[in-house]
Amino acid sequence: MRALLTLLLATMAAEALADAPAIEKRGAVECDMVEVTPIVWHGTLLRFEYVRDNYKHNPVKQACFRFVSIATGAATEPFALGYHLGCAFAANDTMYVYGVKEWGANTIEAFWSTDLKTWQHGTALEVPKAKIFNTSVCRGPDGYVMAIEFGEPADWVGNGFTNLFAQSKDLLHWAMMPPQCVYTKERYSACPALRFLDGCYYMVYLEAYPGPHYMPHIVRSKDLEHWESSPLNPMMRPGPEDKQIANPKLSEEERKRIAEAKDINNSDLDFCEFGGKTILYYSWGNQQGNEFLAEAAYAGTESQFLKAWFPAK
């Protein structure tokens, strides 16, 4: 029965992908890099990186955040040493970064800078008894909204992980939204990437499949309570394209790791618009520590990309 269900889900996924927006997978760019945010800063495409302590090229040998130029590969000085699971958002000539002191912390910390060199720091949100992981921020119709991946408390998350939401007027002080603003307590739903477009929130998250396999889905909502799932889900699924080499600087040892790696997930998808295209980054690997960062692109604007997942009925 389980094998039949797995086959059915795989068939449905293949049929959906046949009609889905075309995502060009360009291949792997880093080993042991997972959570990143592509972002445009003063006309330059950057990749915000949460650098884990096991990343071979980590200059400080502990968890930290940094920005990397996509064009040149040049990196900023690491900051937020010891912090984890970051995301980045730019507004009003200021870069804001959010992260947690440890996986499953109950506090989200904010870092902000106008030059990516000097950083200020403060507490953005504290949620007693919570366990908080990934976050994502967008500009909403009345201020800003943050999607927050919760692991606890159990009565909030149901079947964790689950995404709840907070709001802010200034990107520094945040408050939780009502508990009915949630996606979803019914099953695993991790790794949010939140956007707002034409009166609708769009959220990419990670869905668990039998096997196990993990693939990104996209949903949308006008109120963060009632959600519509794209009929074209999943957005991507693991495949040989993940193992293409998109970074010529990868060593022979790293290329060997990539070639031999088990690939059961496309996760932690995030994206931005640059040069008329939608630039995407995602993780692939075994979901148990042997993970790789890859890049992809969609030949259209972010608006076109989001709307294409919800064809007119």
- The answer to whether 56 touches 46, Cβ cutoff 8 Å, is no
Of the candidates 305, 304, 294, 299, the one whose C-alpha atom is nearest the C-alpha of residue 47 is: 294
Residue with tokens 């939140």: 194
Residue 253, in any domain of the structure: yes
The answer to whether residue 222 sits within a structural domain is: yes
The DSSP code for 252 is H
- List CB contacts of 206: < 8 A, sequence separation 6 or more: 188, 189, 190, 191, 214, 215, 216, 217, 265, 267, 268, 269
68 in a structural domain: yes
Residue 24: which domain range? Answer: 20-308
Tell whether 12 is covered by a domain.
no
Within-domain flag for 113:
yes
**CA proximity to 17, closest of 269, 309, 313:** 309
Domain presence at residue 7: no
Full pLDDT tens readout for the chain, 313 residues: 444 444 444 555 455 556 889 999 999 999 999 999 999 999 999 999 999 999 998 989 999 999 999 999 999 999 999 999 999 999 999 999 999 999 999 999 999 999 999 999 999 999 999 999 999 999 999 999 999 999 999 999 998 799 999 999 999 999 999 999 999 999 999 999 999 999 999 999 999 999 899 999 999 999 999 999 999 999 999 999 999 999 999 999 999 999 999 999 999 999 999 999 999 999 999 988 899 999 999 999 999 999 999 998 6
Domain total of the chain? 1
CATH number for 240: 2.115.10.20
In a domain, 8, yes or no: no
Amino acid identity at 191: C
Asked if residue 108 is part of any domain, the answer here is yes
